[in-house]
Homo-oligomer: A and B are copies of this chain.
Amino acid sequence: MEGVDYLRDERSKAQFDVETMKVAWAGSPEAFLVCDRMAKLVANDPVFEKFSKPMLGRKELFKNTLRKTAHAWKLVNDLHLTEEEAKWLRHYIDEPSYTDLQWEMFVPALEGQGTEEQKKKWVPLAKTMQIIGTYAQTELGHGSNVQGLETTATFDRQSDEFVIHSPTLTSSKWWPGGLAKVTTHAIVYARLIIDGHFYGVHGFIVQLRSLEDHSPLPGITLGDIGMKFGHGTYNTMDNGVARFDRVRIPRDQMLMRVSQVTKEGKYMKSNVPRQLGYATMVSVRQTIVSDASKALSRAVCIATRYSAIRRQFGSRDGGPETQVLDYKTQQSRLFPLVASAFAFRFASDWLKLLYTDVKQRLEVNDFSTLPEVHACTAGFKSLTTAATAEGIEECRKLCGGHGYLISSGLPELFAFYVPACTYEGENVVMLLQVARFLVKTVSDLGNKQPVGTAAYLGRASLLVQKNCVVQTAEDWLNPIAILEAFEARAARMAVGCCQRLAEFKSPEEGFAELSSDLAEASLAHCQVIVVSTFIRRLQQDIPGRGVKQALEVLCNVYALFLLHKHQGDFLATGYLTPKQASLANDQLRTLYSKVRPNAIALVDSFNHTDHYLSSVLGRYDGNVYPKLYEAALKDPLNDSDIADGIHQYVQPILKQKLHSSKL
Q: Which residues of A contact B (CB under 8 A)?
A: 47, 54-55, 57-59, 62-63, 66-67, 69-71, 73-74, 77-78, 128-132, 138, 140-145, 148, 169-170, 172, 174-175, 180-182, 184, 211, 213-216, 222-231, 234, 238, 241, 311-313, 315, 321, 327-333, 389, 393, 396-397, 400-401, 403-407, 411, 415, 418-419, 421-423, 426-428, 432, 512-517, 519, 564, 566-574, 578, 581-582, 585, 589, 625-626, 628-629, 631-638, 641-654, 656, 658-659, 661, 663
Which residue of B is nearest A626, CB measured? B169
Quick one: which of B129, B403, B656 contacts A653, CB cutoff 8 A?
A: B129
Cα distance A225–B141 in the bound complex, in angstroms:
41
Q: What are 22 A-B pairs with beta-carbon distances under 8 A?
A: A67-B648, A74-B659, A78-B659, A138-B401, A143-B400, A148-B312, A172-B629, A182-B646, A211-B654, A214-B647, A215-B641, A224-B635, A224-B637, A226-B635, A227-B231, A227-B407, A229-B404, A230-B231, A238-B637, A329-B516, A393-B418, A572-B581
Q: Do residues B62 and A658 form an inter-chain contact, with CB atoms below 8 A? A: no
Quick one: which of B63, B411, B418, B432 contacts A329, CB cutoff 8 A?
A: B432
Q: Do residues A632 and B226 form an inter-chain contact, with CB atoms below 8 A? A: yes
Contacts of A589 in B (CB 8 A): 513, 516
Quick one: which of B227, B411, B427 contacts A229, CB cutoff 8 A?
A: B411
**Chain B nearest CB, measured from A89 CB (Å):** 15
Give 7 nearest A-B pairs by CB, closest first.
A567-B568, A63-B645, A568-B568, A229-B411, A66-B649, A332-B516, A571-B571
Cα distance A58–B55 in the bound complex, in angstroms:
7
Cα distance A224–B638 in the bound complex, in angstroms:
6
Cα distance A150–B301 in the bound complex, in angstroms:
28
Residues A184 and B568 in contact in the complex (CB < 8 Å), given A404-B229, A629-B172:
no
Q: Which of A389, A405, A407 has the most CB of B within 10 A?
A: A405
Question: How many monomers of this chain does the complex have?
Answer: 2
Contacts of A66 in B (CB 8 A): 645-646, 648-650
**Chain B nearest CB, measured from A249 CB (Å):** 19
Q: Do residues B581 and A654 form an inter-chain contact, with CB atoms below 8 A? A: no
Contacts of A419 in B (CB 8 A): 401, 404
Residues A422 and B406 in contact in the complex (CB < 8 Å), given A77-B658, A228-B411, A566-B568:
no
**Chain B nearest CB, measured from A635 CB (Å):** 4
Contacts of A57 in B (CB 8 A): 55, 57, 636
Quick one: which of B78, B175, B225, B642 contacts A214, CB cutoff 8 A?
A: B642
**Chain B nearest CB, measured from A442 CB (Å):** 18
Q: Do residues B70 and A661 form an inter-chain contact, with CB atoms below 8 A? A: yes
Residues A328 and B224 in contact in the complex (CB < 8 Å), given A59-B636, A71-B663, A422-B400:
no
Cα distance A58–B635 in the bound complex, in angstroms:
8
Contacts of A644 in B (CB 8 A): 59, 62-63
Contacts of A401 in B (CB 8 A): 138, 143, 174-175, 419, 422-423
Q: Do residues A328 and B512 form an inter-chain contact, with CB atoms below 8 A? A: yes
